[in-house]
């Protein structure tokens, strides 16, 4: 039986959002821990609670049932947030939370294919009813693309050697499940620790679910959706995600776009955000001890400037 996901940096998240009244967004509802705390903070707090995982939504509905019609649930990716928001009348958001990690429930369910400790299918989809499985992705990719995924989304070294080994095993039919994948990773990396496979599974999950493109879409939509003075909090678990959040909300161009000198970039596209976290916030040692999966968490907070 999986344990209930423990919300990461909960006290810090509530401190930045300061929920009192108005419509808030939890873009990654998960097991509902952050959402429950937001709703409990004030009787005039309403919540748009979104997740792409139907199982997460089902469990969170039970957890948040006592809040009644103060919660509106939405099933979809970040790209579908504008439609869910519009269905509520497009009231500007008083606050928003994007927790970019996966829940303990998802990782511990071997059938989801996200665990490097237990045998499961080569799936890794956040929504088991939509998208392409890892097995199918591996059947249609090449060494260069896969190496880029491993390097860019997992900081994996040596990425090319590992990509070559994964594709060879998949082609030979020996990459039968997630346990076989984890064993291959440890062998190629020459690291016997089970956790050695964690960055690889993270990178493959981000790739399978197209999470970076989804994040880009949400970051472009947020400035118009947020009320003046509204705060957005992001929790990221990978340097690439954290870097893109920081760049986008500071007004920097997306990776791969034409670079401008800092002064010219600021003049051409001033950021609509005031950065509240000049230095990234990480979990205290006590939280890292009690919740090891919080160790890589990075919190940033930005406030929407007046229009």
Structure confidence at residue 113 as a pLDDT band (50, 70, 90): confident
Residue-level pLDDT at 262: 52
Which residues lie below 8 Å from residue 246, measured CB to CB, with a gap of 6+? 252, 300
Q: Cα separation of 191 and 167, whole Å?
A: 20
Q: Which of 202, 276, 271, 270 is nearest to 233 (CA)?
A: 276
89 vs 103, more confident: 89
Residue-level pLDDT at 37: 98
Tokens of residue 241, six digits: 């995600």
Q: Cα separation of 129 and 136, whole Å?
A: 14
Percent above pLDDT 70 for the chain? 92
The C-alpha angle 64, 69, 73, rounded to 5 degrees, equals 60
Q: What residue spans in the chain does CATH classification 1.10.150.170 cover?
A: 128-208
User: pTM here?
Assistant: 0.89
Does position 256 have pLDDT exceeding 80, yes or no? no
Percent above pLDDT 90 for the chain? 79
Does position 259 have pLDDT exceeding 80, yes or no? no
What CATH number should be reported for the domain whose range is 128-208? 1.10.150.170
Residue-level pLDDT at 254: 52
Q: How many CB atoms lie within 10 A of CB 67?
A: 18
Residue-level pLDDT at 266: 47
Class of domain 10-105+212-304: alpha beta
Which residues lie below 8 Å from residue 235, measured CB to CB, with a gap of 6+? 8, 9, 13, 97, 98, 99, 100, 101, 297, 298, 299
Q: What residue spans in the chain does CATH classification 3.40.50.150 cover?
A: 10-105+212-304
Beta bridge partners of 95: 24, 231
Q: Cα separation of 12 and 115, whole Å?
A: 28
Q: What pLDDT, in 10s, does the model give residues 55-75?
A: 999 999 999 999 999 999 999
Q: Which of 274, 176, 261, 268 is nearest to 223 (CA)?
A: 274
Residue-level pLDDT at 83: 98
Q: What's the number of CA atoms in the CB half-sphere (13 Å) around residue 302?
A: 22
């Amino acid at each position: 039986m999986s344990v209930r996901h423990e919300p990461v940096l909960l006290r810090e998240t509530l401190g930045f959002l300061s929920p009192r009244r108005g419509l808030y967004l939890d873009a990654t509802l998960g097991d509902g821990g952050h959402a429950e705390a937001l709703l409990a903070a004030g009787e005039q707090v309403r919540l748009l609670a979104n997740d792409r995982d139907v199982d997460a939504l089902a469990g969170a509905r039970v957890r948040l049932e006592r809040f009644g019609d103060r919660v509106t649930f939405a099933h979809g990716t970040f790209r579908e947030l504008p439609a869910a928001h519009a269905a509520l009348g497009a009231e500007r958001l008083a606050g928003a939370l994007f927790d970019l990690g996966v829940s303990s429930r998802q990782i511990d369910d071997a059938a989801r294919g996200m665990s490097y400790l237990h045998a499961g299918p080569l799936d890794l989809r956040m929504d088991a009813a939509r998208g392409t499985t890892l097995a199918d992705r591996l059947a249609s990719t090449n060494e260069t693309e896969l190496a880029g995924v491993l390097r860019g989304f997992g900081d994996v070294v040596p990425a090319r050697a590992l990509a070559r080994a994964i594709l060879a095993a998949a082609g030979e039919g020996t990459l039968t499940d997630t346990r076989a994948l984890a064993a291959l990773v440890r062998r190629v990396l020459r690291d016997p620790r089970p956790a050695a496979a964690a960055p690889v599974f993270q990178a493959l999950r981000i790739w399978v679910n197209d999470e970076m493109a989804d994040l880009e879409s949400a970051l472009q939509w947020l400035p118009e959706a947020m009320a003046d003075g509204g705060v957005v909090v992001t929790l990221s678990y990978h340097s690439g995600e954290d870097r893109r959040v920081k760049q986008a909300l500071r007004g920097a161009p997306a990776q791969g776009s034409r670079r401008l000198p800092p002064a010219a970039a600021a003049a051409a596209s001033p950021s609509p955000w005031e950065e509240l976290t000049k230095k990234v916030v990480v979990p205290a040692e006590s939280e890292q001890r009690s919740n090891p999966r919080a160790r890589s968490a990075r919190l940033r907070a930005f406030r929407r400037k007046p229009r």
